[in-house]
């Protein structure tokens, strides 16, 4: 027998309705409503309020206290707001609204399991019931994903759970790891040891454009003389030599430098600018030797059916942008070629700190290729996940292509508005839930789930970086160690006295 939790009241629509109840239901819990023709729809409680007509006109504390002494319990009412999610069987919004007075039932477990537990990977449990929430990986990858929250609300744990679950499917994943959080990731599950592969950031400087090489060398974007001369020198060198003619990246760059030196004799008025460009390239050879290479193909570094970690923590934003854009460009090109050759190679790319490489109001090379993947990637098996704690600074065009969202606590109205503007699926009422979410809780919506849910994300059973430090313990331990050292030193000093 289903539990009746209330009755439909007021004006109803096909997408939302109100109900009266005699007990307070939980926000985020699910209800079912049966129509006269037998159709049953599922809804989610998005808001709850209590009221009492007796207190409506009270403007005085003394009067309120007098009224509180009266037996007015029967005057209180509880009203909730329901978002209609669709027909239980077909997941379609009904064409007609339910009648006022219709019973509102608590959704039973079998219905909820049918709606939320049919996906490929488990990300968490419904916040209102202990029902597994599983995501459809095909739709997760083809329709892209964004994981958004303020700092400390569980983004890294969500990514770790996602990696663990994808590993069970033998997925090919590339994590652009900005802070080195995942290079030491380890699962304690004996039946799911993560297959990880660390990729050191490198770039084939023969295959990149002159602009990217100039960026890597630290040539200012406004250097209107240095950059054209570098471009011309590279063009001349490539006209004379193929990549196979050089033994190393140093040989290639030195040839570009020789070409630049030859320009100084012809263009003496620009000698200072050309010399500065030479200095920049020489500095690159000295300080960024570990990043540059020849005869290097980043695609060969990516292992199929592994969690590949591109370790970026040692790079500044400029170098990171060049590396990420290079990998993104080459991956998209390779996957296009693979599909044309009849051998598709799906890959899911996770961009940590996405607001740094795909910013809203600033040009980056990464934004060019990541936004291209966001638009075209699904056709070639390239899915992306943008992870950020600063949604309002994230490129809205790229974010709007992420049809799947996992959103933890967001407090700032500007962050909320930016996300809502990018996602037509995020309703005003769901938006209101974001500031009240606790650590590890999230709103999940999009094609990978079909029906929006407020979820308690599973705790990753393993170890990874990025967890909060126990600062008090560290200070205490450091203090104890310091005091012990001082005590030993003092004992040594006076050890010979009785």
Give pLDDT, residue 356: 92
Closest residue by Cα to residue 354 from 131, 62, 146, 127:
146
Closest residue by Cα to residue 31 from 96, 101, 103, 98:
103
Q: Do the beta carbons of residue 443 and residue 434 sit within 8 Å?
A: yes
d(CA 222, CA 383) in angstroms, rounded, equals: 34
Give pLDDT, residue 466: 65
Task: Give pLDDT tens digits along the chain (498 positions).
Answer: 688 999 999 998 988 899 999 888 888 889 999 887 778 899 989 888 888 777 777 777 877 777 777 666 667 888 999 988 888 876 778 888 899 999 999 998 998 998 899 999 999 999 888 899 999 999 999 999 999 988 888 899 999 999 999 999 999 999 999 999 998 899 998 888 899 999 999 999 999 999 999 999 999 988 889 999 999 999 999 999 999 999 999 999 999 999 999 998 888 899 999 999 999 999 999 999 999 999 999 999 999 999 999 999 989 999 999 999 999 999 999 999 999 999 999 999 999 999 999 999 889 999 999 999 999 999 999 999 999 988 889 998 899 999 999 998 887 888 888 887 777 667 776 777 788 788 889 989 899 997 888 899 999 999 987 666 678 888 888 777 766 655 544 444 444 433
Instruction: Report residue 396 as tokens.
Output: 């809205």
Q: Which fold has domain 121-202+296-463?
A: Rossmann fold (3.40.50)
What are the residue boundaries of the structural domains of the chain, listed by start? 4-107, 121-202+296-463, 212-291
Instruction: Report residue 81 as tokens.
Output: 């707001």
**What pTM value is reported for the model?**
0.86
Count of CB atoms situated within 10 Å of the CB of 157:
19
Tell how far CA 60 is from the center of its chain.
Answer: 50
Q: What is the CA radius of gyration of the chain?
A: 30
Cα distances (Å, whole numbers) of residue 229 to 224, 238, 268, 273, 350: 9, 14, 13, 9, 36
Cα distances (Å, whole numbers) of residue 341 to 329, 334, 380: 19, 11, 12
């Amino acid at each position: 027998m289903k539990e009746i939790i209330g009755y439909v009241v007021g004006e109803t629509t096909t997408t939302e309705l109100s109900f009266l109840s005699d007990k307070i239901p939980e926000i985020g819990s699910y209800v079912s409503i049966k129509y006269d023709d037998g159709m049953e729809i599922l809804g989610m409680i998005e808001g709850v309020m209590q009221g009492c007509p007796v207190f409506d006109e009270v403007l005085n504390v003394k009067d309120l206290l007098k009224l509180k002494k009266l037996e007015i319990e029967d005057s209180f009412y509880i009203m909730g707001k329901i978002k209609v999610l669709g027909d239980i069987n077909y997941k379609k919004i009904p064409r007609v609204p339910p009648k006022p007075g219709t019973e509102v039932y608590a959704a039973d477990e079998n219905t909820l399991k049918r709606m939320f537990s049919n996906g490929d990977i488990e990300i968490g449990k419904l916040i209102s019931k202990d029902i597994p929430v599983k995501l459809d990986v095909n739709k997760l990858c083809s329709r892209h994903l964004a994981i958004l929250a303020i700092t400390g609300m569980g983004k890294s744990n969500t990514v770790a759970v996602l990696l663990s679950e994808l590993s069970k499917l033998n997925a090919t994943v590339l994590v652009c790891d900005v802070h080195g959080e995942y290079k030491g990731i380890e699962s304690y599950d004996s039946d799911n040891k993560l297959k990880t592969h660390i990729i050191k950031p490198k770039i084939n400087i023969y295959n990149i454009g002159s602009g990217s090489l100039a960026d890597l060398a630290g040539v200012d974007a406004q250097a209107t003389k240095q950059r054209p001369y570098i471009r011309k020198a590279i063009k001349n060198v490539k006209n004379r030599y193929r990549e196979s003619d050089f033994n190393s990246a140093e040989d290639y760059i030195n040839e570009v430098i020789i070409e630049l030196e030859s320009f100084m004799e012809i263009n003496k008025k620009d000698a200072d600018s050309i010399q500065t460009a030479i200095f920049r390239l020489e500095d690159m050879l000295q300080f960024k030797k570990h990043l540059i290479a020849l005869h290097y193909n980043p695609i060969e570094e990516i292992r199929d059916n592994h969690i590949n970690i591109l370790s970026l923590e040692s790079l500044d934003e400029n170098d990171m942008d060049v590396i990420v854009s290079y990998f993104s460009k080459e991956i998209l090109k390779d996957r296009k070629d693979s599909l044309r050759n009849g051998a598709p190679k799906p890959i899911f790319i996770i961009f940590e700190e996405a607001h740094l490489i795909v910013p809203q109001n600033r040009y980056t090379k990464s934004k060019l290729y990541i936004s291209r993947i966001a638009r075209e990637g699904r056709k070639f098996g390239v899915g992306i996940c943008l992870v950020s704690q600063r949604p309002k600074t994230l490129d809205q065009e790229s974010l709007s292509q992420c049809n799947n969202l996992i959103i933890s606590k967001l407090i700032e109205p500007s962050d909320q508005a930016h996300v809502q503007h990018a996602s037509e699926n995020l309703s005003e009422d769901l938006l209101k839930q974001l500031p009240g979410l606790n650590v590890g809780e999230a709103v999940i919506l999009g094609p990978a789930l079909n029906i929006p849910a407020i979820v308690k994300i599973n705790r990753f059973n393993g170890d990874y970086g990025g967890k909060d430090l126990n600062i008090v313990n560290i200070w205490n331990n450091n203090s104890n160690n310091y005091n012990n050292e001082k005590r030993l030193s003092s004992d040594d000093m006076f050890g010979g006295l009785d």
